[in-house]
């Protein structure tokens, strides 16, 4: 295969390029930080040189789609084709403006290769759908779904739009480091994006048949209504599922292919205030009474109880209307966080689950920190990342929400990652850990969890470090053990 790389690939990148560049559909289930973006850029450039495509459409989580255009393609795209390419990233908040529409028109009318990166939510908007239709009309398209675990629910509108779009693409790629972080069921919708008939040809014409074959379900009865319902209690035939997935995907972990420095895990403990302990005890007793009521405790109800207890350890009183009120006086968790930060002589990432947590952390760290969550615009996020990654910039802390920043970011300037509070989602934890631990990291990375001893904090951290999805292990009996 004749192709001149702009940047020298690792051996696993070269292997998958040589083996799959000509494949109409393929999935890279590579762990975060192993360089799957470069592998796709090389494939796109090769297909362009072979006159196989004239358009690349990348669909990714918000913010991640921008990184393709601003960070990744400029590094890995062959300079010999720099003038052949017109590219842009979609900006949803500006998509109705004259300037944005003109930018879309510029790319659509380009007499060369067109590259458009769009976020998943934009697929569902009228303007986004209109632009995608124009990109696919009379064009040979390489369609890339980055962080394809976002498409794990086959009945969701986002997934249905993706499936419809994929049918019109000449070449298709899906990328994720966590293909089945929540459940083996997650594979169904993602591979459907590669081949609409993939599961039909294997005897699973509908998702329900797939679930029945690979899942173990048990019937439960609601104690109050007497209504029966089924819930998943385990999985089966997983070797068979792996054999079905392997021919159309490639799995790589960092331990397999990279000589990265180690991850170092630490726990730092703090004691709650007397007021916090009192409220925690009260809410705990209410949860136990709820468990003793005889009603069936579903996973969503168990998660609500767990969340309320976690909010208290973070320094908040959950109100009946869903708001959070701060305890009067000190916040021991944030005091410990500030103490840790004062002792660091290098850059660090701080992840926090609650927006109010991030507000308070930013107040404490001031101009030493940048923010990256739902409160920041795309431009602000781009600037935050750039400043943090600049070794000469005095910004020391990157403060974010894993739901917003867990995917698509390279933050290897960090040598410490602090979890002020954890999401319950294993995907958020795995993805957020690897923002720092990836290609380019030269130092061991310390991961610090802040924990109130004797509380749900301990169980949450243990489950996530053991790579357990909390929503699948938290039954009513488990909740009793945890609280």
Tens digits of residue pLDDT in 438-475:
888 888 899 999 999 889 999 999 999 988 877 776 65
d(CA 432, CA 402): 6
Same domain, 245 and 369: no
Higher pLDDT, 58 or 298: 58
Q: Does residue 336 sit within a domain?
A: yes
Q: Say which residue the tokens 């035939």 belong to.
A: 237
Q: At what angle do helices 274-291 and 299-313 cross, to 10 degrees?
A: 170
Q: Does residue 1 sit within a domain?
A: no
Instruction: Give the domain-ending residue among 257, 288, 323.
Output: 257
Task: Give tens-digit pLDDT for 36-66.
Answer: 999 999 999 999 999 999 999 999 988 788 8
Residues spanned by the domain of 278: 263-482
Torsions phi, psi of 323, nearest 5?
A: -80, 170
Per-residue pLDDT, averaged over 16-27, amounts to: 97
Same domain, 230 and 373: no
Mean pLDDT of the chain: 90
Residue 302 predicted with pLDDT over 90 = no
Task: Give tens-digit pLDDT for 249-263.
Answer: 999 988 888 788 888
Per-residue pLDDT, averaged over 307-327, amounts to: 84
Q: Does residue 2 sit within a domain?
A: no
Closest of 162, 389, 469, 439 to residue 381, by C-alpha: 389
Residue 478 predicted with pLDDT over 70 = no
pLDDT band for position 345 (50/70/90)?
Answer: confident
Percent share of the chain, pLDDT over 70: 96
Kindly report the CATH number assigned to the domain that includes residue 199. Answer: 3.40.50.10810
User: What pLDDT was estimated at residue 238?
Assistant: 94
Same domain, 215 and 283: no
Higher pLDDT, 73 or 255: 73
Higher pLDDT, 261 or 1: 261
Per-residue pLDDT, averaged over 66-81, amounts to: 92
Query: Are residues 171 and 52 in contact, defined by beta-carbon separation less than 8 angstroms?
Result: yes
* Six-digit token string for 138: 């009379």
Per-residue pLDDT, averaged over 122-127, amounts to: 92
Same domain, 381 and 397: yes
Closest of 298, 354, 352, 344 to residue 324, by C-alpha: 354
Instruction: Indicate the range of 100-109, 155-164, 250-259, 425-434 predicted with least confidence.
Output: 250-259
Instruction: Indicate the range of 6-20, 113-127, 288-302 predicted with least confidence.
Output: 288-302
Closest of 42, 283, 5 to residue 142, by C-alpha: 42
Percent share of the chain, pLDDT over 90: 64
363 Cβ neighbours under 8 A, 6+ residues apart: none
Instruction: Give the domain-ending residue among 257, 289, 314.
Output: 257
User: What pLDDT was estimated at residue 125?
Assistant: 92
Same domain, 371 and 429: yes
Same domain, 329 and 466: yes
Higher pLDDT, 145 or 327: 145
Same domain, 289 and 202: no
User: What pLDDT was estimated at residue 42?
Assistant: 97
Residue 476 predicted with pLDDT over 60 = no
User: What pLDDT was estimated at residue 456?
Assistant: 92
343 Cβ neighbours under 8 A, 6+ residues apart: none
Instruction: Give the domain-ending residue among 242, 257, 272.
Output: 257
d(CA 466, CA 460): 10
Q: Does residue 149 sit within a domain?
A: yes
Same domain, 310 and 208: no
Q: Could you give the C-alpha distances from 96 to 29, 131, 335, 377, 458, in angstroms and in order?
A: 35, 12, 44, 16, 47
Query: Are residues 193 and 162 in contact, defined by beta-carbon separation less than 8 angstroms?
Result: yes
Q: Say which residue the tokens 């962080």 belong to.
A: 147
pLDDT band for position 479 (50/70/90)?
Answer: low
Kindly report the CATH number assigned to the domain that includes residue 307. Answer: 3.40.50.300
Closest of 344, 300, 288, 336 to residue 315, by C-alpha: 336
How many domains would you assign to the chain? Answer: 2
pLDDT band for position 330 (50/70/90)?
Answer: confident
CB count within 10 Å of CB 250 equals: 17
Total-model pTM: 0.73
User: What pLDDT was estimated at residue 296?
Assistant: 64
Same domain, 269 and 253: no
Q: Give alpha helix (H) positions in 62-215.
A: 64-67, 73-76, 98-108, 126-136, 157-166, 186-194, 207-214
């Amino acid at each position: 295969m004749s192709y001149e790389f702009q940047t020298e690939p690792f051996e696993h990148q070269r292997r998958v390029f040589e083996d799959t560049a000509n494949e109409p559909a393929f999935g890279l289930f590579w762990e975060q930080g192993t360089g799957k973006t470069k592998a796709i850029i090389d494939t796109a450039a090769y297909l362009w040189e072979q006159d196989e495509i004239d358009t690349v459409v990348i669909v990714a989580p918000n913010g991640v789609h921008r990184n393709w255009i601003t960070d990744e393609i400029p590094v890995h795209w062959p300079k010999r084709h720099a003038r052949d390419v017109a590219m842009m990233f979609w900006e949803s908040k500006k998509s109705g403006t004259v300037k944005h529409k003109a930018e879309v028109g510029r790319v659509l009318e380009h007499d060369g290769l067109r590259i458009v990166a769009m976020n998943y939510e934009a697929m569902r908007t009228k303007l986004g759908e209109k632009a995608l239709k124009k990109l696919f009309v009379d064009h040979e398209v390489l369609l890339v779904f980055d962080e394809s675990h976002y498409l794990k629910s086959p009945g969701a509108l986002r997934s249905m739009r993706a499936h419809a779009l994929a049918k019109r693409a000449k070449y298709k790629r899906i990328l994720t480091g966590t293909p089945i972080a929540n459940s083996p069921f997650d594979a169904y919708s993602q591979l459907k994006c590669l081949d609409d008939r993939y599961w039909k040809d294997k005897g699973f014409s509908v998702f329900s048949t797939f679930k029945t074959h690979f899942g173990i379900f048990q019937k439960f009865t609601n104690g109050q209504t007497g209504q029966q319902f089924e819930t998943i209690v385990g999985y089966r035939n997983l070797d068979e599922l792996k054999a079905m997935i392997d021919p159309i995907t490639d799995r790589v972990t960092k331990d397999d292919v990279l000589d990265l420095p180690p991850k170092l895990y630490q726990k730092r403990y703090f004691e709650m205030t007397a007021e916090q302990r009192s409220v925690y005890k009260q809410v705990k007793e209410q949860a136990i009474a709820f468990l003793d009521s005889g009603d069936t405790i579903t996973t969503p109800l168990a998660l609500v109880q767990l969340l309320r207890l976690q909010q208290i350890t973070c320094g908040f009183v959950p109100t009946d209307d869903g708001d959070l009120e701060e305890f009067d006086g000190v916040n021991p968790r944030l005091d410990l966080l500030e103490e840790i930060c004062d002792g660091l002589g290098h850059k660090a990432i701080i992840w926090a689950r609650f927006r109010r947590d991030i507000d308070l952390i930013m107040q404490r760290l001031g101009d030493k920190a940048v923010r990256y969550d739902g409160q920041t615009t795309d431009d602000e996020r781009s600037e935050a990342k750039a400043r943090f990654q600049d070794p000469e910039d005095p910004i020391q802390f990157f403060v974010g929400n894993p739901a917003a920043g867990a995917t698509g970011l390279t933050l290897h300037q960090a040598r410490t990652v602090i979890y002020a509070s954890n999401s319950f989602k294993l995907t958020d934890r795995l993805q957020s850990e690897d923002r720092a631990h990836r290609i380019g990291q030269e130092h061991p990375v310390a991961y610090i969890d802040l924990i109130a001893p004797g509380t749900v904090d301990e169980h949450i951290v243990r489950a996530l470090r053991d790579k357990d999805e909390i929503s699948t292990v938290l039954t009513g009996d488990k909740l009793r053990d945890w609280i």
